[in-house]
Structure 1
Amino acid sequence: MPKTVHVMIVEDERVIALHLRKQLEKLGYDRTSAHSAGYDALKAIERDPPDIILMDIRIDGDIDGIETAAGIPPDLMIPVIYLSAHSEDATLARAKKTRPYGFLLKPFSERELHATIQMALERRVAEMALRESQQRLSLAMSAAQMSCWEIDVNTREMHSTGLGNFQTPQETETVTETWDAFLDRVESEDRDSVRKAFTYAVQHGDFYDVVFRSINAHKEQRWLRARGKSFSNDRNGTHRIIGMMQDITDQRMTNDKLREAMAVYETTQDGILILDPDLNVTNANKAYYHITGTGPKGTLNKPPYFLAPEEYSAGFYQDLFHTLRHRRHWHRDIETRNIQGNPISLATQIIAVEDDDGELTHFVAIVSDRTAIRQAEQELHYLAQYDGLTSLPNRLLATDRLNRAIERSEPVGARVACLFLDIDDFKNINDTLGHAAGDQVLLIASTRIKAVTERADTIARLGGDEFMIIRENIQNATAAANLAMKIISELQRPFYIIGHELTLSASIGISLYPDNALSPQDLIRLADTAMYAAKDRGRRTYAFYQSEMTETATRYMTRSLELRRGLENNELVLYYQPQMNAHTGDLVGVEALLRWNHPTSGLLGPHEIIPVAEQSGLIIEIGDWVLREACLQARRWQDELDQKITMAVNVSVRQLKMPNFAETVQHALAVAGLPAEYLEIEITESMIQDETSMIRMLHELREVGVSLAIDDFGTGYSCLRSIKSLPIKRIKIDRAFVKDLPGKADDAALVEAMLAMASSLGLHTTVEGVETEEQYHFLREMGCTDLQGFLFSKPVPADAVFADKAAKKQSNSNIS
């Protein structure tokens, strides 16, 4: 049974963290945990280390995401993937130091997230296997009582690991000391031979072998044997001597090392062979038999089967014996098969073993099974270039192929067409039929696209429901248009999935080389821009890129970035328009209206804010801010001026669709200390058409205690039966019915009917857009309860709503 993957999310935005957890659940990651602060995450890691961490960079607390990642114990080897909307050079430079497994820029698709997580987990498996192999090698050296050391010839600094540190002969930690300090512990009679060996290695670079005596910290004399070789690097000017050292004090120590080596020999996961000077196997450990599937009968007294003479040429064996004779060490990766015929990948090295007189006695071959690592590398390579669902090239490979197509077309002056395809309303298929059906649809779409294209064309899936088609040597724009229409027509043919007959439509954007751009990245970007233009034209069609499209997209992107900056820099403000009682003239409430103090454009209204916020997704953050600020302001009026009026706040359909929106409202009321009865949530008629999601949320809001009102009533298509059953307390009649009153009889009749309906249903009414005294008197006589419009006040800042009363209170305070 596969191990459940534990994914930890470190994200201070609760909504984003919740959304990310739901995405992960849809992708099959059932076990997730979330933390908003770095210290909390580090404590949780100590208690229950996750398999992978999705880390936002800007989080709550004294440390950010990068510092949190740096604090994770390295021995846990937990992959960290940064999820951030920030990619400044300084941020990236800091992030690199923590060696993350990925860096995803928000927003990103579920497929990108899934692929990045899977590749990170595979990389972790490979790295842990590598670490285990390195640990096994380190343990083997420790068990054999051997040490390795390195001398920097230029600085005369020596690094010893293992027995090279004579003060602690049983430790394998690396110790750094000077060459002179090392010589001080060598017996005076042997120092000259050690110095000569050092000098010879520096001058000639060959292996050397020297035996000498040393005194340890306990004043005991120990015999040591050292071998090494000089290495130089002309590029960076380094010159090092690297070698091995062995304690050969007495026979008992030798026997102990042999027993330890035998334990390693029998228990290591690497295969070990003992070979005679002719490379015939004289002994093999269990790991070798397990890796290759062979047994003693088919192994002993003959060369290893992966070095059989029929497998290689004579030159191979000449090189093998020459290397072993002169360098005493040969290594190579070998692709072969085990005895059952299954392919395996072996990392093989053969080491010559000599006696004390330097005569060759035998060889030791170490065989490491790298099959799993090699397969993982191949799978990662495939995932890096191909889509896992459709097996089509992904964006990376498609971009490379587009670049090659351009390179081939440039010398001959040929055109290249780049078609960017997006399936229309694909989200509805996933939402209604499920993601498994959505995957089948994507497979059908890819098959149909391939059916109407040429073999030389490249069809790629870029992610989600986006595809790209590349065609070289296309004659003209007409040919590209014909290809697009052929694909659209083919996708429209009906097909069946889980008992449902479906048809697909697609929007296609087209860019041409060299007409529109010269680089593959620009061609893809422009085709993507044209695709959105095709959607704006009604979908199920195509559009060629035009320069005006970039200008429009640039304006939107600029405004979107400015709006995000404005939200972060507190440039957004609320204005308030009073709502008056039609009969007493008393102020009974205000409607909170959004404004933007733009640094260069001045004060901007909702028409400059809401469309950009809706498209960019900022509407959730802005809507939450409006809700919090409005509640705080209502409470300030209660505390400072003793004014207990209703605060009306408009919410967007995207806010209402958030599953925890009622909790968000409740939290805003709690933070402000505002009783729920003084908050009124305004929704539009179109929001209450979705029976499965919106109506449930309205009842949850009513349970919180806030009032609900239908804004712009009469301009939508409300079902009166639905309104009767909903927890609505007020309707707001749209200004469109008021502007021609009292002269226009049709509007008067409609207003009168809506007021009568509201009265019979026990609903309060507010009429918007009242601008003249005639409208005011007419509506009051009709029985309207509350009025709103320029006749009473335009939207004003908070300090202007009760300006007279505030001034009077200040004056009384000064007198007292």
Structure 2
Amino acid sequence: MLHPVHIMIVEDERIIALHLRKQLERLGYERTSVHTAGYDALKAIERDPPDIILMDIRIDGDIDGIETAAGIPPHLMIPVIYLSAHSEDATLARAQKTRPYGFLIKPFSERELHATIQMALERRIAELALRDTQQRLSLAMTAAQMSCWEIDVATRQMQRTGLGSFSHLQETETVTESWDDFLERVAPEDRAMVRKAFTYAIHNGEFYDIVFRTIDEERGYRWLRARGKLFPGDRNATMRIIGMTQDITDQRHTQDKLREAMAVYETTQDGILILDPNLKITNANKAYYRITGTMPQSTLQHPPYFLAPEELASEQYREMYQVLHNHRHWHKDIDCNSAQGSPISLSTQIIGVEDDNGLLTHYVAIVSDRTAIRQAEQELHYLAQYDGLTSLPNRLLATDRLNRAIERCEPRGSIVACLFLDIDDFKNINDTLGHAAGDQVILIASTRIKAVTDRTDTISRLGGDEFLIIRENMQSETAAASLANKIIQELERPFYIVGHEMTLSASIGISLYPNHASSPQDLIRLADTAMYAAKDRGRRTYAFYESEMTENATHYMTRSLELRRGLENNELVLHYQPQIDAKTEQMIGVEALLRWNHPKHGLLGPMEIIPIAEQSGLIVEIGNWVIREACTQARTWQDEFGEKIRVAVNVSARQMQSSGFADTVQHELALSGLPAEFLELEVTESMIQDEDAMIQTLHDLREVGVSLTIDDFGTGYSCLRSIKSLPIKRLKIDRAFIKGIPDNSDDVALVDAMLAMAGSLGLQVTAEGVETRQQHAYLRNIDGMELQGFLFSKPVPADEIFVRKDSAAKFHKSV
């Protein structure tokens, strides 16, 4: 033994106890303790448990030796040997209930005592070892959420060890219940299956494995897996089914989630790839093969073909690897071809997956087919930028190209020429030969203009019979005049149409940058003015714009000083134009529009204010004043009338470019007390194309909580490719497109295309410039549409807005 055996003697006769102690010492037991009363012995056991107890039955105190033995904590497993002169049946029966390790009748020999002690100690060692084994087994079964059970086939009694209940994870030694009681806890849908497995085991004696559910009042159903087998009868002829049950609820839930994930993986419209750390495909779903037209044999164990080095530029390929290495996430829109050679547009993102230690294990790539969206964007872009008859750029695109030509020529100081061409007496052609013939004439004119101009020139159809020719790096006014003459002479060559020989004449007005104007709009306007001068001179000729620079400069300087004084003297005011819900016909918002109470000229509109403010640098100060005034007025309406309507404010490019503009807006909202959701800021398309700082300002404003709207939508050039990523909530269709509906098929097509795009991107829409009942009737049936225009109300002062609201309601009733 590793330590001296501690023997406790419980004996009230001191002489006998002393004699017994001496005997034990002679037998080699060095450590003994003696107690005369039961309570004393139990207290001593708590402090220093002995290895074995020699217990007299009749001892001092309130409890005898048998009762003392019964009070020993069972987990200590201390062997008790009774030493007594009494062996009556009643005494033996009582003693037997405490499961003693021996019973020696006094007097006894030392050999007998020694043998009894040794056998008790050996038995204790074996029982301790068995207990440890059972505990380990019990802990292992608990950890595995398992229980061991057996069923007596004859009595249908069930004993279970390990988990006490199939529905409650509690530990117990052994649970006994009937087979029928157990079935009551099995889910009704699974009882027949469990009965069948039980019957099968009885008749065939073979192993079975079933999964079923039990009812858990606290946590609902629990999933169990039971495995068992029939064992033949022992000497008592008892047939038993013995097996194990495991709680697999967590596994089942995990499997369900995996099945759900697999269903999503296989049914999603996006292609999903699993890539190894070298970007080779280890798995791909059906959508990927459908999108790309590839096959598994050419896909697996290869990188995605559209990411191959021969597809991506070497710089892009290195960038992709670097981004994935540093950030574990890469995204790019890729235009490529399918396996069949058809052009496709893919939005691809790759996400790295790491293990618990942060080590890369694989990548997941998501490939979205954007081909249809890209085609729709291109078609919409084409409709918005090109003339449907001649395929020439329209006014919007021509204006943008003119702006770009000015930007290129400005650093070099070279000349940009604008030639505004109008076919003479074109109305007569339409009236006499019909509009179809007129369209053919327009096509012939566009072909002949292109024939005598350079490939780098921009030839656009502005509408009707009006064309604009833009040439940059013009050498002189003489060169511009020569180009105009060539065009006029080319148009004069005879041609045949619908059986008639015809010739065309044209009048051309010319404006030059920087001689006459510095903005595209002004150049076009001045060239248009010069064209009318050419017509006044007899047609079939050209005319240069005659500069009014001195008069314009004087006018600008005067108005700039007046505007600054007007801002200081509170001459600026806001008028508000209602915005109407097309369905409910209720006013849900207003647009704040700037007016100037000029001391001499009366009420002036934004066209007399904004250009001067832009050029003088006052635009930021005035723009901030507009935001402050509009927010304060909207809050006043809420407080006085309980009307929580949205107020829209136009912001300029300089405001958006100013540092901390989002903070300025947040500050004005806080001062006025207006919730951010009731302020809408309107920006134009040209302000947000390829301007990283401007786009960041849009995101900052969205964080403030205000709504963002693209004003004059359709008049820009390059916003369409990025609008999906901008925090824009609303599009305002420019009045130029609304003006022609419902009679102008081109305008109807453009508006329908814009609405379709807005709907697919989840954007709200406002139509500007609604001035006729026909326009109202066409637009009112479009879901989510809001309307704004003179049909409902002109811009009015703040104190008239709710009067206009009532008037608008009466108007709708009459309509």
TM-score scaled by length of structure 2: 0.34
TM-score scaled by length of structure 1: 0.33
Structure 1 or 2, whichever has the larger Rg, is 2
